Structure 1
Protein backbone atom coordinates (compact mmCIF):
# COMPACT_ATOMS: atom_id res chain seq x y z
CA UNK A 1 0.00 0.00 0.00
CA UNK A 2 1.21 3.51 -0.66
CA UNK A 3 2.84 5.89 1.80
CA UNK A 4 -0.31 8.01 1.51
CA UNK A 5 -2.37 5.18 2.98
CA UNK A 6 0.02 4.88 5.93
CA UNK A 7 -0.34 8.62 6.54
CA UNK A 8 -4.13 8.43 6.21
CA UNK A 9 -4.19 5.48 8.64
CA UNK A 10 -2.07 7.39 11.15
CA UNK A 11 -4.31 10.46 10.85
CA UNK A 12 -7.39 8.30 11.45
CA UNK A 13 -5.73 6.69 14.47
CA UNK A 14 -4.80 10.10 15.84
CA UNK A 15 -8.44 11.25 15.67
CA UNK A 16 -9.27 8.23 17.85
CA UNK A 17 -6.65 9.08 20.50
CA UNK A 18 -4.72 6.03 19.31
CA UNK A 19 -0.96 6.35 19.06
CA UNK A 20 0.94 4.89 16.12
CA UNK A 21 4.50 4.35 15.05
CA UNK A 22 5.71 3.49 11.54
CA UNK A 23 8.85 1.34 11.46
CA UNK A 24 10.91 -0.75 9.08
CA UNK A 25 11.07 -4.49 9.85
CA UNK A 26 14.46 -4.26 11.57
CA UNK A 27 13.03 -1.78 14.11
CA UNK A 28 10.05 -3.91 15.15
CA UNK A 29 11.59 -5.77 18.10
CA UNK A 30 13.04 -2.65 19.74
CA UNK A 31 9.81 -0.70 19.16
CA UNK A 32 7.71 -3.45 20.76
CA UNK A 33 10.12 -3.54 23.72
CA UNK A 34 9.83 0.24 24.13
CA UNK A 35 6.01 0.21 24.03
CA UNK A 36 5.14 -2.57 26.43
CA UNK A 37 4.55 -2.20 30.12
CA UNK A 38 5.23 -5.51 31.87
CA UNK A 39 3.94 -7.97 32.48
CA UNK A 40 3.18 -8.48 28.80
CA UNK A 41 1.61 -11.29 26.83
CA UNK A 42 1.60 -11.85 23.10
CA UNK A 43 0.21 -13.88 20.24
CA UNK A 44 2.85 -14.80 17.68
CA UNK A 45 2.55 -12.54 14.64
CA UNK A 46 0.75 -13.93 11.58
CA UNK A 47 3.45 -12.70 9.17
CA UNK A 48 6.39 -14.42 7.53
CA UNK A 49 9.64 -12.79 8.63
CA UNK A 50 8.19 -10.89 11.61
CA UNK A 51 8.11 -12.43 15.07
CA UNK A 52 7.67 -11.71 18.77
CA UNK A 53 10.10 -14.49 19.70
CA UNK A 54 12.71 -11.96 20.89
CA UNK A 55 10.21 -9.56 22.46
CA UNK A 56 9.79 -9.38 26.24
CA UNK A 57 6.32 -10.99 26.12
CA UNK A 58 4.92 -14.33 27.21
CA UNK A 59 3.65 -16.17 24.14
CA UNK A 60 0.80 -18.66 24.49
CA UNK A 61 -0.16 -17.22 27.88
CA UNK A 62 -2.15 -19.10 30.49
CA UNK A 63 -5.40 -17.60 31.82
CA UNK A 64 -3.58 -16.38 34.94
CA UNK A 65 -0.90 -14.66 32.82
CA UNK A 66 -3.66 -12.95 30.80
CA UNK A 67 -5.28 -11.68 34.01
CA UNK A 68 -1.95 -10.31 35.27
CA UNK A 69 -0.88 -8.73 31.97
CA UNK A 70 -0.80 -4.97 31.55
CA UNK A 71 0.12 -5.15 27.83
CA UNK A 72 -1.00 -7.49 25.08
CA UNK A 73 0.79 -7.64 21.71
CA UNK A 74 -0.79 -9.11 18.59
CA UNK A 75 -0.72 -8.76 14.84
CA UNK A 76 -3.42 -7.72 12.41
CA UNK A 77 -3.52 -8.82 8.79
CA UNK A 78 -5.83 -5.94 7.84
CA UNK A 79 -6.19 -2.28 8.73
CA UNK A 80 -8.66 0.25 7.31
CA UNK A 81 -6.84 3.51 6.58
CA UNK A 82 -9.91 5.75 6.44
CA UNK A 83 -11.22 4.53 9.81
CA UNK A 84 -8.16 3.65 11.90
CA UNK A 85 -9.58 0.15 12.31
CA UNK A 86 -7.68 -3.15 12.65
CA UNK A 87 -8.95 -6.70 12.28
CA UNK A 88 -8.23 -8.93 15.26
CA UNK A 89 -8.49 -12.54 14.19
CA UNK A 90 -9.50 -15.36 16.51
CA UNK A 91 -6.61 -17.78 16.06
CA UNK A 92 -5.29 -20.64 18.16
CA UNK A 93 -2.35 -18.37 19.05
CA UNK A 94 -4.75 -16.33 21.23
CA UNK A 95 -4.90 -12.99 19.37
CA UNK A 96 -8.40 -12.18 20.59
CA UNK A 97 -7.59 -12.77 24.27
CA UNK A 98 -4.26 -10.92 24.06
CA UNK A 99 -5.92 -7.97 22.31
CA UNK A 100 -8.95 -7.63 24.59
CA UNK A 101 -7.97 -8.56 28.16
CA UNK A 102 -4.92 -6.39 29.02
CA UNK A 103 -5.46 -2.68 29.57
CA UNK A 104 -2.94 -1.81 26.80
CA UNK A 105 -2.97 -3.35 23.31
CA UNK A 106 0.01 -3.03 20.98
CA UNK A 107 -1.04 -4.19 17.53
CA UNK A 108 1.30 -4.77 14.59
CA UNK A 109 0.04 -4.29 11.04
CA UNK A 110 2.04 -4.28 7.81
CA UNK A 111 1.68 -1.25 5.52
CA UNK A 112 0.94 -3.64 2.66
CA UNK A 113 -2.08 -4.94 4.63
CA UNK A 114 -3.81 -1.56 4.82
CA UNK A 115 -7.08 -1.23 2.93
CA UNK A 116 -8.27 2.19 1.83
CA UNK A 117 -11.85 2.05 3.09
CA UNK A 118 -14.62 -0.19 4.37
CA UNK A 119 -15.60 -1.35 0.89
CA UNK A 120 -12.05 -2.54 0.24
CA UNK A 121 -11.98 -4.19 3.68
CA UNK A 122 -15.20 -6.10 2.97
CA UNK A 123 -13.57 -7.55 -0.15
CA UNK A 124 -10.68 -8.76 2.00
CA UNK A 125 -13.08 -10.20 4.60
CA UNK A 126 -15.06 -12.00 1.88
CA UNK A 127 -11.86 -13.71 0.69
CA UNK A 128 -10.98 -14.65 4.28
CA UNK A 129 -14.45 -16.12 4.89
CA UNK A 130 -14.19 -18.10 1.65
CA UNK A 131 -10.85 -19.47 2.93
CA UNK A 132 -12.72 -20.66 6.06
CA UNK A 133 -11.27 -18.03 8.41
CA UNK A 134 -14.46 -16.68 9.89
CA UNK A 135 -13.89 -14.94 13.18
CA UNK A 136 -12.64 -11.35 13.24
CA UNK A 137 -13.18 -8.38 15.52
CA UNK A 138 -12.97 -5.00 13.85
CA UNK A 139 -11.40 -2.81 16.54
CA UNK A 140 -11.34 0.97 16.26
CA UNK A 141 -9.40 2.76 18.99
CA UNK A 142 -9.58 2.09 22.71
CA UNK A 143 -12.62 0.33 24.11
CA UNK A 144 -15.26 2.80 25.20
CA UNK A 145 -18.89 2.94 26.19
CA UNK A 146 -21.38 5.66 26.99
CA UNK A 147 -24.15 3.29 28.05
CA UNK A 148 -24.41 4.68 31.56
CA UNK A 149 -23.87 8.39 30.82
CA UNK A 150 -20.34 9.72 30.55
CA UNK A 151 -17.94 8.10 28.07
CA UNK A 152 -15.77 5.51 29.86
CA UNK A 153 -12.77 3.80 28.25
CA UNK A 154 -11.49 0.30 28.93
CA UNK A 155 -14.75 -1.34 29.97
CA UNK A 156 -15.00 -3.97 27.21
CA UNK A 157 -11.35 -4.09 26.16
CA UNK A 158 -8.13 -2.11 26.29
CA UNK A 159 -8.21 1.49 27.42
CA UNK A 160 -5.04 2.24 25.46
CA UNK A 161 -4.04 1.12 21.95
CA UNK A 162 -0.79 1.68 20.08
CA UNK A 163 -0.50 0.57 16.44
CA UNK A 164 2.89 -0.30 14.95
CA UNK A 165 2.84 -0.04 11.16
CA UNK A 166 5.63 -2.05 9.57
CA UNK A 167 6.60 -0.43 6.32
CA UNK A 168 7.60 -2.61 3.42
CA UNK A 169 11.32 -2.54 2.75
CA UNK A 170 11.61 0.66 0.78
Structure 2
Protein backbone atom coordinates (compact mmCIF):
# COMPACT_ATOMS: atom_id res chain seq x y z
CA UNK A 1 0.00 0.00 0.00
CA UNK A 2 1.34 3.41 -0.94
CA UNK A 3 1.56 6.32 1.49
CA UNK A 4 -1.14 8.08 -0.51
CA UNK A 5 -3.55 5.13 -0.19
CA UNK A 6 -2.81 4.89 3.54
CA UNK A 7 -3.55 8.59 4.11
CA UNK A 8 -6.75 8.50 2.05
CA UNK A 9 -7.84 5.37 3.91
CA UNK A 10 -7.42 7.16 7.26
CA UNK A 11 -9.41 10.16 5.98
CA UNK A 12 -12.23 7.89 4.78
CA UNK A 13 -12.29 6.08 8.13
CA UNK A 14 -12.41 9.34 10.06
CA UNK A 15 -15.27 10.63 7.93
CA UNK A 16 -17.30 7.42 7.97
CA UNK A 17 -19.28 8.41 11.08
CA UNK A 18 -19.52 12.13 10.30
CA UNK A 19 -23.09 13.40 9.93
CA UNK A 20 -24.21 14.70 6.53
CA UNK A 21 -24.20 18.46 6.52
CA UNK A 22 -27.17 19.85 4.61
CA UNK A 23 -26.20 22.00 1.67
CA UNK A 24 -27.83 25.40 1.61
CA UNK A 25 -30.12 25.92 -1.35
CA UNK A 26 -28.92 28.47 -3.84
CA UNK A 27 -31.39 31.30 -3.88
CA UNK A 28 -32.46 32.19 -7.38
CA UNK A 29 -33.73 35.58 -8.30
CA UNK A 30 -36.87 35.59 -10.30
CA UNK A 31 -37.06 38.12 -13.05
CA UNK A 32 -39.24 41.10 -12.29
CA UNK A 33 -42.28 40.56 -14.54
CA UNK A 34 -42.37 44.28 -15.29
CA UNK A 35 -38.90 44.11 -16.89
CA UNK A 36 -38.76 43.33 -20.60
CA UNK A 37 -35.77 40.98 -20.56
CA UNK A 38 -35.40 41.06 -24.34
CA UNK A 39 -35.16 44.86 -24.31
CA UNK A 40 -32.70 44.66 -21.40
CA UNK A 41 -30.64 42.11 -23.34
CA UNK A 42 -30.51 44.43 -26.36
CA UNK A 43 -29.50 47.36 -24.16
CA UNK A 44 -26.71 45.40 -22.48
CA UNK A 45 -25.40 44.02 -25.80
CA UNK A 46 -25.24 47.60 -27.12
CA UNK A 47 -23.33 48.64 -23.97
CA UNK A 48 -20.52 46.36 -25.16
CA UNK A 49 -20.18 48.33 -28.41
CA UNK A 50 -21.91 45.62 -30.42
CA UNK A 51 -24.47 46.38 -33.09
CA UNK A 52 -27.87 45.05 -32.06
CA UNK A 53 -31.24 45.15 -33.74
CA UNK A 54 -34.62 43.48 -33.40
CA UNK A 55 -36.76 42.18 -36.23
CA UNK A 56 -39.52 39.72 -36.99
CA UNK A 57 -38.87 36.24 -38.36
CA UNK A 58 -40.17 37.33 -41.77
CA UNK A 59 -37.79 40.32 -41.84
CA UNK A 60 -34.75 38.27 -40.78
CA UNK A 61 -33.44 37.36 -44.28
CA UNK A 62 -33.57 41.00 -45.43
CA UNK A 63 -31.97 42.28 -42.19
CA UNK A 64 -29.27 39.65 -42.46
CA UNK A 65 -28.42 40.65 -46.04
CA UNK A 66 -28.44 44.35 -45.06
CA UNK A 67 -26.12 43.67 -42.13
CA UNK A 68 -23.44 41.98 -44.21
CA UNK A 69 -20.74 44.23 -45.68
CA UNK A 70 -20.76 44.41 -49.46
CA UNK A 71 -18.47 41.84 -51.12
CA UNK A 72 -17.80 40.20 -47.74
CA UNK A 73 -16.56 36.63 -47.76
CA UNK A 74 -18.97 34.83 -45.40
CA UNK A 75 -18.81 31.45 -43.67
CA UNK A 76 -21.81 29.70 -42.12
CA UNK A 77 -22.23 26.47 -40.18
CA UNK A 78 -23.09 23.64 -42.57
CA UNK A 79 -26.43 23.16 -40.77
CA UNK A 80 -27.51 26.82 -40.61
CA UNK A 81 -31.20 26.94 -41.52
CA UNK A 82 -30.96 30.30 -43.31
CA UNK A 83 -30.00 31.17 -46.86
CA UNK A 84 -26.95 33.47 -46.84
CA UNK A 85 -26.13 34.31 -50.46
CA UNK A 86 -22.55 33.52 -51.44
CA UNK A 87 -21.70 32.02 -48.05
CA UNK A 88 -19.21 29.18 -47.74
CA UNK A 89 -20.51 26.34 -45.55
CA UNK A 90 -17.96 25.20 -42.98
CA UNK A 91 -16.96 21.64 -43.69
CA UNK A 92 -13.90 21.68 -41.47
CA UNK A 93 -12.14 24.65 -43.06
CA UNK A 94 -8.56 25.15 -41.90
CA UNK A 95 -7.59 28.09 -39.69
CA UNK A 96 -5.89 29.67 -42.70
CA UNK A 97 -9.03 29.33 -44.82
CA UNK A 98 -11.13 30.79 -41.99
CA UNK A 99 -8.70 33.68 -41.63
CA UNK A 100 -9.29 34.56 -45.28
CA UNK A 101 -13.03 35.00 -44.57
CA UNK A 102 -14.56 38.25 -43.33
CA UNK A 103 -17.80 37.31 -41.59
CA UNK A 104 -19.39 34.36 -39.82
CA UNK A 105 -23.17 34.03 -39.41
CA UNK A 106 -24.45 31.74 -36.64
CA UNK A 107 -27.37 31.21 -34.33
CA UNK A 108 -27.00 31.23 -30.53
CA UNK A 109 -28.11 28.81 -27.83
CA UNK A 110 -29.29 31.63 -25.60
CA UNK A 111 -28.83 35.24 -24.53
CA UNK A 112 -28.51 36.51 -20.95
CA UNK A 113 -30.33 39.80 -20.32
CA UNK A 114 -28.53 40.87 -17.15
CA UNK A 115 -25.07 40.61 -18.69
CA UNK A 116 -25.75 41.06 -22.40
CA UNK A 117 -23.99 37.75 -23.01
CA UNK A 118 -24.59 35.34 -25.87
CA UNK A 119 -23.88 31.67 -25.25
CA UNK A 120 -23.12 29.18 -27.98
CA UNK A 121 -23.11 25.46 -27.22
CA UNK A 122 -22.11 24.67 -30.82
CA UNK A 123 -25.34 22.83 -31.51
CA UNK A 124 -27.46 23.19 -34.67
CA UNK A 125 -26.78 26.39 -36.60
CA UNK A 126 -23.93 27.46 -34.31
CA UNK A 127 -20.95 25.75 -35.88
CA UNK A 128 -17.71 24.79 -34.25
CA UNK A 129 -15.82 27.18 -31.99
CA UNK A 130 -13.16 28.07 -34.61
CA UNK A 131 -15.61 29.62 -37.05
CA UNK A 132 -16.95 31.93 -34.33
CA UNK A 133 -13.49 33.09 -33.25
CA UNK A 134 -11.40 33.48 -36.40
CA UNK A 135 -13.39 35.71 -38.82
CA UNK A 136 -13.25 39.41 -37.92
CA UNK A 137 -17.04 39.97 -37.88
CA UNK A 138 -19.65 37.74 -36.17
CA UNK A 139 -23.34 38.09 -36.99
CA UNK A 140 -25.27 36.15 -34.36
CA UNK A 141 -29.00 35.47 -34.44
CA UNK A 142 -30.81 35.13 -31.11
CA UNK A 143 -34.50 34.26 -30.91
CA UNK A 144 -36.34 36.38 -28.33
CA UNK A 145 -37.58 33.18 -26.66
CA UNK A 146 -33.96 32.19 -26.00
CA UNK A 147 -33.28 35.20 -23.78
CA UNK A 148 -33.08 34.38 -20.06
CA UNK A 149 -32.93 36.84 -17.18
CA UNK A 150 -29.56 36.03 -15.59
CA UNK A 151 -26.62 33.64 -15.39
CA UNK A 152 -28.28 31.17 -12.96
CA UNK A 153 -31.22 30.91 -15.37
CA UNK A 154 -28.72 30.23 -18.17
CA UNK A 155 -27.16 27.38 -16.22
CA UNK A 156 -30.61 25.89 -15.73
CA UNK A 157 -30.92 25.67 -19.52
CA UNK A 158 -27.37 24.85 -20.63
CA UNK A 159 -25.82 21.40 -20.78
CA UNK A 160 -22.45 21.70 -19.03
CA UNK A 161 -21.12 18.67 -20.90
CA UNK A 162 -21.24 20.60 -24.19
CA UNK A 163 -18.51 23.06 -25.24
CA UNK A 164 -19.72 26.53 -24.31
CA UNK A 165 -18.58 29.84 -25.79
CA UNK A 166 -19.68 32.92 -23.85
CA UNK A 167 -19.62 36.15 -25.86
CA UNK A 168 -20.01 39.54 -24.21
CA UNK A 169 -19.42 42.00 -27.02
CA UNK A 170 -16.62 42.15 -29.56
CA UNK A 171 -13.30 40.70 -28.48
CA UNK A 172 -11.38 43.40 -26.63
CA UNK A 173 -8.57 43.88 -24.16
CA UNK A 174 -6.74 46.82 -22.62
CA UNK A 175 -3.11 47.32 -21.74
CA UNK A 176 -1.83 48.86 -18.52
CA UNK A 177 -2.51 52.36 -19.89
CA UNK A 178 -6.11 51.31 -20.64
CA UNK A 179 -5.64 51.57 -24.40
CA UNK A 180 -8.44 49.38 -25.78
CA UNK A 181 -7.52 46.92 -28.53
CA UNK A 182 -10.27 45.01 -30.29
CA UNK A 183 -10.08 41.72 -32.13
CA UNK A 184 -7.26 40.11 -30.18
CA UNK A 185 -9.10 37.00 -28.97
CA UNK A 186 -11.92 36.81 -31.48
CA UNK A 187 -14.09 38.93 -33.78
CA UNK A 188 -13.50 42.67 -33.75
CA UNK A 189 -17.15 43.34 -34.63
CA UNK A 190 -20.29 41.69 -33.24
CA UNK A 191 -23.72 42.19 -34.80
CA UNK A 192 -26.63 40.64 -32.91
CA UNK A 193 -30.01 40.23 -34.56
CA UNK A 194 -32.79 39.46 -32.07
CA UNK A 195 -35.74 37.79 -33.76
CA UNK A 196 -39.21 38.21 -32.29
* TM-score between both structures, scaled by the size of structure 2: 0.72
Tell me which residue corresponds to 1:163. Answer: 192
After superposition, the C-alpha distances for 1:12-60 in whole angstroms (9 at most, x for unaligned) are 01111111111111111111111123101112566xxxx2234442112
CA distance in 2, matches of 1:55, 1:143: 26
Q: Are residues 1:87 and 2:87 paired?
A: no
Residue 110 of structure 1: how far off its partner (Å): 0.5
Query: Is it true that 1:123 corresponds to 2:156 in the alignment?
Result: yes
Task: Please give the secondary structure, in 1, of the residue aligned with 2:52.
Answer: strand
**2:49 is paired with a residue of what secondary structure?**
coil
Rg bigger for which structure?
Answer: 2
* Higher relative contact order, structure no. (Cα contacts within 8 Å, ≥ 6 residues apart): 1
State whether structure 2 residue 182 is matched by structure 1 residue 153: yes
More divergent stretch after superposition (8-17 vs 64-73): 64-73
Correspondence for 2:169: 141
- Provide the C-alpha distance between the structure 1 equivalents of 2:99 and 2:105, rounded to a whole number of angstroms: 14
Say if 2:139 and 2:192, in contact at 8 Å, map to a contact too: yes
Q: Give per-residue Cα distances to partners, 1:97-121, cap 9 Å, x unaligned.
A: 2211111100011100001011111
Task: Give the TM-score taking structure 1 as reference length.
Answer: 0.82
Aligned length, in residue pairs: 157
Alignment gaps of 5+ in structure 1:
none
Aligned residue in 1 for 2:77: 43
Comparing 2-11 and 148-157, the one that deviates more = 2-11
Which structure shows the bigger proportion of residues in helix conformation?
Answer: 1
Deviation at 1:65, TM superposition (A): 3.7
CA RMSD across the alignment: 2.2
Q: Which residue of structure 1 lines up, in the alignment, with residue 102 of structure 2?
A: 70
